[in-house]
Amino acid sequence: IMVLPRDGLTDGAGKALKYDRVYYVGEQDFYVPRDADGNFKTYESAGDGYDDMLEVMKTLTPTHEVFNGAVGALTGDKALAANVGETVLIIHSQANRDTRPHLIGGHGDHVWGHGASSATRRRSTSRPGHIPGRLRRRRTLHVPSAGGSTPT
């Protein structure tokens, strides 16, 4: 869950941030049991497979990893698009693992990690589009759309 401040997001100096679009990118891990032949099991209800699923979860190795709940949820016609000059707020979450999204064709100016209430400006030593690993599990980016591609 991401709860935005009542008065909106601000930069490190307290100035209100404005954005044209907001996108949520959620990463989910699924732990689906397999039968003796290696096929994924099915159950009448999620509760029926609880014990089997718990055993798979204990391995800490997901059988499926998806964005926004499904394979291909953010590709093709469903890709997160922005026009040149637009500012985009991207809210990213991953509850279980250290993941590091990389922006292609833009850069992140403001990053909030671990539920921080104020933004930290991207350091000049940071690679454009790279989110430091210490900001894992939850990130919010304010991304001004670039006119060209930014290498990552």
pLDDT at 96: 74
Residue for token digits 């060209």? 148
- Are 94 and 27 a contacting pair, CB within 8 Å? yes
Q: Which of 78 and 143 is assigned the larger pLDDT?
A: 78
Q: What is the pTM of this model?
A: 0.63
- Who contacts 121 (Cβ-Cβ below 8 Å, separation ≥6)? 11, 12, 109, 110
User: According to DSSP H, which parts of 14-138 are helical?
Assistant: 50-57
Enumerate domains of the chain plus CATH numbers: 21-28+68-144 (2.60.40.420), 30-63 (no CATH)
- DSSP state, residue 69: T
- Who contacts 82 (Cβ-Cβ below 8 Å, separation ≥6)? 20, 21, 88, 106, 143, 145
Dist. CA 36–CA 50, nearest whole Å = 18
Give the chain's mean pLDDT. Answer: 76
Handedness of CA 17, 11, 110, 24 (dihedral sign): negative
Kindly state the average pLDDT of the residues 59-72. 91
pLDDT band at 132 (very low <50, low <70, confident <90, very high): low
- Are 152 and 127 a contacting pair, CB within 8 Å? yes
pLDDT band at 98 (very low <50, low <70, confident <90, very high): confident
- Who contacts 147 (Cβ-Cβ below 8 Å, separation ≥6)? 84, 85
Residue for token digits 């919010």? 140
pLDDT at 106: 65
